[in-house]
Amino acid sequence: GQNIDQPTEMTATEGAIVQINCTYQTSGFNGLFWYQQHAGEAPTFLSYNVLDGLEEKGRFSSFLSRSKGYSYLLLKELQMKDSASYLCAVREGHTGRRALTFGSGTRLQVQP
């Protein structure tokens, strides 16, 4: 099975940088995803890491350390529209279903 932990809530200021951490314990690993979910909407894909290191995509970056079971999502130049929940999800590697296991999500509030 898998266990994924991320902070429940975070607050940051417009224009600043925020880092959302995710730790996981898994019996098999085949990739880590970050999704963004605005209130009342569907999750939308942000990033994917399967190898150690940093993946950068515009204002968003995601980091993975497989040996530590740790990832973070870095949001730069925060905008009000970045207020949303950020979901960390780990994909199983050793079963046929390749299911995603999601953390409970981190609700980010961006303040002016």
Partner 1 sequence: NAGVTQTPKFQVLKTGQSMTLQCAQDMNHEYMSWYRQDPGMGLRLIHYSVGAGITDQGEVPNGYNVSRSTTEDFPLRLLSAAPSQTSVYFCASSYSARETQYFGPGTRLLVL
Q: Does 104 bind partner 1 (CB under 8 A)?
A: yes
Other C-beta atoms closer than 10 Å to the C-beta of 86 total: 25
Chain positions 26 to 55 lying near partner 1, rule: CB under 8 A, are 30, 33, 41-45, 48
Q: Does 100 bind partner 1 (CB under 8 A)?
A: yes
Rounded Cα–Cα distance for residues 26 and 97 (Å): 15
Query: Is residue 32 within 8 Å of 22, Cβ to Cβ?
Result: yes
Q: Which of 82, 54, 66 is nearest to 23 (CA)?
A: 66
Give the distance, in angstroms, between the CA of residue 58 and the centroid of all CA atoms in the same chain.
15
Query: In the complex with partner 1, which residue's Cβ is closer, 69 or 105?
Result: 105
Q: Does 9 bind partner 1 (CB under 8 A)?
A: no
Tell the smallest beta-carbon distance from residue 102 to partner 1 (Å): 4
Contact footprint for partner 1 (CB under 8 A)? 4, 8, 30, 33, 41-45, 48, 87, 89, 96-105
